[in-house]
Amino acid sequence: MTDLPIPDLPVPDWQTISQIPIHESAEAFQAISLSPKIRTWPAYFKMGIAHTMPECYIREGVYQRLLEATRYLPDHLTLVVLDGWRPFKVQQFLYETFLALLSEAQPDWDEAQRIAQARQLVSPPSIDPKAPSPHVTGGSIDVTLMDADGCLLNMGTLFDEASPLAFSAAFEGRDDLTATQQEARDHRRLLYHAMRQAGFTNLPTEWWHYDYGNQMWAWHRLEAGEINAESAQAHYGVSHPHTLEYMWRSQLGLPH
């Protein structure tokens, strides 16, 4: 799969994405650390960010497709999950922090410019039932690869790096790549094609971000001509892993 380039895909049209209907499947969540085939490294929890969790949760359908993706990788490589379902407060923190840093770094930009730039890395926090942030649905996942020794592969940038090189296809169509960049390009291709074969779509501004079942996934499929506008719909809306507090709140009729 290292011979197959990553296509240069369009940046999401957030207005159109927000209008795709959601028919919630009520699918349960799966704790990824239970899998013997996938490793987890909950990056934001390891960073000490408030309200994060020491586990990576995703919808069961996402989990099954993630297992499928492992079958398309070379035997010596393993998928590593960095983030899955994300609490609203964490989404809010990430977005507001990056937006504030953009205001400091680009004081001449207007608000629209800063928001457009921020959305390439972090979606605005939303638990609107009709237009939720992708990660709060349990349908988005951030992944990378590691070798048999537990070393993360060179992917060209760090996870969540705010750089044009973080675009999935940043190393495609170039004849001036260094050996290190060629290696990163090939690793990205392995990850991309394994995930795509399993039914995921990729956010083109982030080599690590993949979607299944949410509005972002439906929009990418629509853009690729895999479905038509009449059949475009998402399966996952705002949801929450069934933690003890969540269960008790549900049983007591309290808001989640």
Sequence-distant (≥ 6) Cβ neighbours of residue 89 within 8 angstroms? 50, 51
Tell me: is residue 142 an annotated ligand-binding position.
yes
If one counts every other C-beta atom within 10 angstroms of the C-beta of residue 179, the result is 7
Q: Is 206 a catalytic residue?
A: yes
Backbone angles phi, psi at 152, to 5 degrees: -65, 140
CB 39 within 8 A of CB 237: no
Q: CA angle, 234 as apex, 233 and 238 as ends, to 5°?
A: 145
Sequence-distant (≥ 6) Cβ neighbours of residue 46 within 8 angstroms? none
Output the CA torsion sign for 145, 243, 96, 16.
positive
Q: Point out which residues pair with 59 in neighbouring strands.
A: 29
Residue at 149: amino acid letter? D
Please identify which of the residues 55, 104, 111, 206 carries the catalytic annotation: 206
Tell me: is residue 209 an annotated ligand-binding position.
yes
Q: What residues are labeled active site? A: 206
Residue positions in the annotated binding site for Zn(2+)? 135, 142, 209
